[in-house]
Amino acid sequence: MKIKLLISICLVAALSIQAQQKVIQLYPGAAPGSESWNWDEKQNDSNMSKTEVVYNVSHPSLTVFPADPATANGTAIVICPGGGFHMLSINSEGNDVAKWLAKRGVTCFVLRYRLMHSVTDDPVKELMGGLTGDIKKFNESVAPVVALATADAMNAMTYVRQHAADYGIKTDKIGIIGFSAGGTLAEAVAFGYNADSKPNFAAPIYAYVPDAQSTEVPKDAPPMFLVAASDDQLHLVPSSLLLYSKWQQAGKPAELHLYVHGGHGFGMRKQNIPTDNWIDRFGDWLQQLGFIAPLKAAPQDWPNLARFAADNSKVQAPAAGEKRVVFMGNSITEGWLRLDPDYFGSKPYINRGISGQTTPQMLLRFRPDVIDLHPKAVVILAGTNDIAGNTGPETLETIMGNIASMAELAKAHNIKVVLSSVLPAFDYPWRPGQQPAEKIVALNAMIKDYAAKNGCIYLDYWTAMADARKGLPANLSGDGVHPTIAGYKVMEPLAEKAIADALK
């Protein structure tokens, strides 16, 4: 009986998921050209990159993200995630893009196209092995799959156009966007379409253009939108420049955004640098060409009060004897929970870190995110984004004033205060040239002095983590600002001692 009930529950859950997201098989049977492929599609995040990837696609499909009915405008787009033809970065270069565009009224079709066969469950590692080896041999090995995947992209465009009426789509408002390897498909479609597969706009994002591919621009070529970062680790900027130049020479509309920083594969990932906003520029471009309508002004939530509103409503009153602690901070605090969830899960600790935030934003949300949760103590880690100028210029005195205001609000509500030093940083990758190292030293001296004079505990991360440059060393951080798990393991015993001292 229990087994039958479990099966029923699983079936209901599966049907519910399917009802929410329609999946279309691109071919009625085996895909032409790969009829002998007998491996099953897989998806995991237990790979070298620790991100959600899809691999071993042998039966191409389209996942439909319907346009928001409130903004639907008849535009549609096929989205091709990247992954070196070994995998698909299904969220940051697929589903997340679709969700953003669907809100703007675009019906989205995320394409899972054919890929190289992965013999392990870590396609990321297999891809990196190929890219760091003989690159000529690597390109030759993937070339047949590139041809199959290109056919999948062409057929995806054809499907959308032939079924436009089913989705409320206008046949002259169907485009394609692709990232990295998916960008190869997007630009290949822009060069080699037929009447059914022609895109009305194309957006190859940090795309790769194979040397063997024809680059003769069609007479009725669609407008093209291009994005790349100058520090692309795969050195693919020349491909974007080639496409832009070809479109310009042919007298076709093209827009190119080339960022200083961002690396390869940024997609919808947030790095607190200008590449975070590429999708907004894409929206502007679509709007200018008449594919989407202007976005209505949304209510502003500068301090991001909504971020934890639902979570805060679920927090119960502290149990008798509970020594609840709230960690208030920015991406360093937020990343702590992501990289070491056990540290927070095993204790009565609540993480209220928000990436990119400055002290005035934290001060505005201090009541709902700290005071109203009734902790015994609060650990405040703030200031580095202020020095970086994330929300505009601030003096050290202003930053210290905001930190002091948070401390005084806490003390007024009988909450013990732990004031953390700002972590060392030699430079900010999202805003280089700020020379933060000495500013952080000066701000930490102000925080330490305030703590000593006002009955707060000073938590000194800086001394334990700074290198000779007064920055964060590579063994504790991947970017010189945000700790790795090794960095958090240095911070945790220091935080524990400070919390214990505060709660004495």
Answer whether 466's CB lies under 8 Å from 477's CB: no
**pLDDT the model gives residue 48:** 65
Place 15 in a pLDDT band, splitting at 50, 70 and 90: very low
Residue 380 burial (C-beta neighbours within 10 Å; 0-12, 13-18, 19+)? buried
445, two tokens? 């001296």
Q: What are the residues facing 65 on neighbouring strands? A: 108
Q: What is the mean pLDDT of residues 290-300?
A: 83
For residue 342, the domain's CATH number is: 3.40.50.1110
**pLDDT the model gives residue 217:** 96
Same domain membership, residue 257 and residue 187: yes
Q: Is the pTM of this model over 0.85?
A: no
**Other Cβ atoms closer than 10 A to 439:** 19
Tell me which residue of 257, 252, 245 sits closest to 282, measured CA to CA: 257
User: pLDDT by residue (tens digit) across 109-118?
Assistant: 999 999 999 9
Residue 154 has pLDDT above 50, yes or no: yes
What residues make up the domain containing 347?
309-502
% of the chain with per-residue pLDDT over 90:
85
Q: What is the mean pLDDT of residues 434-443?
A: 96
For residue 259, the surrounding DSSP H or E stretch is strand 254-259
Spatial separation of the C-alpha atoms in residues 53 and 51, rounded to whole Å: 6
Q: Which DSSP symbol is given to 275?
A: G
For residue 166, the domain's CATH number is: 3.40.50.1820
Spatial separation of the C-alpha atoms in residues 168 and 102, rounded to whole Å: 13
Answer whether 378's CB lies under 8 Å from 366's CB: no
User: pLDDT by residue (tens digit) across 230-245?
Assistant: 999 999 999 999 999 9
Q: Looking at the domain assignment, is residue 351 inside a domain?
A: yes
Q: Distance from CA of residue 337 to its chain's centroid? A: 17
Place 63 in a pLDDT band, splitting at 50, 70 and 90: very high
Same domain membership, residue 358 and residue 261: no
Crossing angle of the two packed helices 485-502 and 331-339, in degrees rounded to 10:
110
**pLDDT the model gives residue 18:** 38
Which single residue is written with the structure tokens 């071919």? Answer: 27
Same domain membership, residue 313 and residue 284: no
DSSP string, 204-221: EES----TTS--PPPTTP
Place 447 in a pLDDT band, splitting at 50, 70 and 90: very high
Residue 47 has pLDDT above 80, yes or no: no
Instruction: Show which of 288, 317, 339 is a domain's final residue.
Output: 288
**pLDDT the model gives residue 283:** 97
Q: What is the mean pLDDT of residues 345-362?
A: 96
Q: Looking at the domain assignment, is residue 359 inside a domain?
A: yes
Spatial separation of the C-alpha atoms in residues 98 and 101, rounded to whole Å: 5
Instruction: Show which of 288, 322, 340 is a domain's final residue.
Output: 288
Place 17 in a pLDDT band, splitting at 50, 70 and 90: very low
Q: Looking at the domain assignment, is residue 246 inside a domain?
A: yes
**Number of folded domains that form the chain:** 2
Place 14 in a pLDDT band, splitting at 50, 70 and 90: very low
Answer whether 160's CB lies under 8 Å from 67's CB: no
User: pLDDT by residue (tens digit) across 399-413?
Assistant: 999 999 999 999 999
Answer with the residue of higher pLDDT: 141 or 249: 249
Q: What is the mean pLDDT of residues 192-205?
A: 97
Same domain membership, residue 79 and residue 37: yes
Q: Looking at the domain assignment, is residue 4 inside a domain?
A: no
Amino acid residing at 390: N
Residue 8 has pLDDT above 90, yes or no: no
| Average pLDDT, rounded, for the chain | 93
**pLDDT the model gives residue 477:** 95
% of the chain with per-residue pLDDT over 70:
95
Residue 11 has pLDDT above 80, yes or no: no
The torsion region of residue 81 among left (phi > 0), alpha (psi -120 to 50) and beta comes to beta
Answer whether 332's CB lies under 8 Å from 440's CB: no
Same domain membership, residue 90 and residue 23: yes
Spatial separation of the C-alpha atoms in residues 473 and 9, rounded to whole Å: 50
Same domain membership, residue 326 and residue 198: no
